[in-house]
Structure 1
Amino acid sequence: MEAALRLFKLSFLLSLILGNSGVIGSRTLPDLASGPGGKFPSPCNRIECPTYELVSSENGYEIRRYNTSVWISTEPIKDTSLVKASRNGFSQLFYYIHGKNDKSQTIEMTAPVITQVSPSDGPSSESNFTLSYYVPRKYQADPPPAKNVHVQRWDTRYVAVKQFDGYVSDDNAAKEAAELEESLKGTDWGKAIAKSRETGGVGFSSAYTVAQYNAPYELFFRVNEIWMSFQIDK
């Protein structure tokens, strides 16, 4: 356990260094891989990911319909930096899947790890960051509980998605989110996102979500996504 944690911390530190350099770890993304129910990001060929159906492929983004799913989430972390908050949240999730839970179960890694980004109340420049780990299907019905994390149960939802490569930084995450927001302006999808933010609910009140599919030590062909979740009135 201690050796694994040291490796994790070292690889995470490497990811921060490389991500800030903007040189290594940024190459053209490979094609999405075929999977049941839709087109999955290529890391999902070798690691379990939540399933979805591809509803529409627009200019620079996709609309997906995700099935019901269960996630383990941190409590909101207040910070001015997504990268710094992620460093904190990733450690909590790492301990959880390596047995620091009420059943002392070691659970397989999945993808993506997501970070919901929500503005703080009041004049503070800080945001609230909630990191979540997708629970493998065999544990979805009864994920082991643990201190300092909680279960998020997602109903079926729609998500507008924009992919980008390299390591996630505060600057590129905000830039990609702004570009997705601009692309959605005036569309029915954009209107549905705005309405869902107003009504709230798990995952809908966030300004955006950053999804990361690769381990920190994977230098090339990294896959990241910006998600904006919404519901459609029936």
Structure 2
Amino acid sequence: MATQAHILSSLLLFSLIACACALKSVPPTCERIECPSYDVVDQGNGFEIRRYNSTVWVSTAPIEDISFVEATRTGFLQLFNYIQGKNAYNETIEMTGPVITQVSPSDGPFCASSFVVSFYVPKKNQADPPAADGLHLQKWGPTFAAVRQFSGFVSDDTLGEEAAALYLSLQGSNWASAVDQGRKADPTSSYTVAQYNSPFEFSGRVNEIWMLFSQGSINKM
């Protein structure tokens, strides 16, 4: 009986994961430009849990600013120059999605926060991405993300509300402690904002809040 119950439990878990994968929502932009691959391992009310494969990102140095929008614009210009050929190989690199901004909020409303803006390196460049002055590589192992999607243009006024909504939606789930462990492991990044659209696209915009954690955080659940 114990063995049968274990098998039934395993089948149920597999079914739940399979359903979650079938329900995953891929940002429309990823149908025309390359995005990092992931699997959806769970879904809840207001959040999705993804497992990203190992990836390489090109990142700016921390940018100190009171405005997420201005810091991201500054960082994106550095990364745009990089993909246009201002890199060690003088090589043009294809645009990918999303552009992400790791956010370390300040202690007060009029204090500068810290932002790191990153570009996902296409698969064909991942093995040997070119370097560039002022930029560095981030090499991620398999990484989990609690994700909340929202539409429109990202603004300084609503960004904190979106991050808080994601965090609140996780409370009472099995993933809340894993996210907390992930934030303790990397106190320099409270959350990450993923933007998939060009600034010149005014409709169908998809943005995401990510709260990242590792397999080790899951093991501590």
> Same fold by TM-score, threshold 0.5 exceeded?
yes
Identity of aligned residues (%): 55
Q: SS where residue 175 of structure 2 aligns? A: helix
From the two aligned structures, give the one with the greater helix fraction.
2
CA distance in 1, matches of 2:156, 2:107: 20
Q: Provide Cα deviations, 1:32-55, integer angstroms capped at 9, x if missing partner.
A: xxx99x642111100000000011
* Residues 1:90 and 2:73 aligned together: no
CA distance in 1, matches of 2:160, 2:205: 18
CA distance in 1, matches of 2:67, 2:39: 32
- Equivalent residues of 1:162, 1:225 under 8 A apart: yes
- Equivalent residues of 2:196, 2:207 under 8 A apart: yes
**Compared CA separation, residues 175 and 123, structure 1 to 2 (3 A):** closer
**Compared CA separation, residues 50 and 39, structure 1 to 2 (3 A):** same
- Equivalent residues of 1:39, 1:54 under 8 A apart: no
> Residue 160 of structure 1 aligns with which residue?
146
**Compared CA separation, residues 140 and 66, structure 1 to 2 (3 A):** same
**Greater radius of gyration (CA):** 2
AA at the equivalent of 2:164: A
RMSD between superposed Cα atoms in Å: 2.0
TM-score, length-normalised on structure 2? 0.83
TM-superposed deviation, 1:124: 7.5
TM-superposed deviation, 1:189: 1.2
- Equivalent residues of 2:55, 2:139 under 8 A apart: yes
* Residues 1:107 and 2:93 aligned together: yes
TM-superposed deviation, 1:121: 8.1
Q: SS where residue 225 of structure 1 aligns? A: strand
> Residue 11 of structure 1 aligns with which residue?
none
CA distance in 2, matches of 1:123, 1:216: 26
TM-superposed deviation, 1:187: 2.5
* Residues 1:181 and 2:164 aligned together: no
Among 31, 42, 47, the alignment partner of 2:33 is 47
TM-superposed deviation, 1:61: 1.2
TM-score, length-normalised on structure 1? 0.79
CA distance in 2, matches of 1:94, 1:118: 23
* Residues 1:75 and 2:75 aligned together: no
CA distance in 1, matches of 2:30, 2:182: 28
> Residue 220 of structure 1 aligns with which residue?
203
Q: SS where residue 97 of structure 2 aligns? A: coil
* Residues 1:171 and 2:157 aligned together: yes
AA at the equivalent of 1:198: K
- Equivalent residues of 1:101, 1:144 under 8 A apart: yes
AA at the equivalent of 2:71: A
Aligned length: 196
- Equivalent residues of 2:66, 2:110 under 8 A apart: no
- Equivalent residues of 1:158, 1:230 under 8 A apart: yes
TM-superposed deviation, 1:168: 0.7
AA at the equivalent of 1:90: F
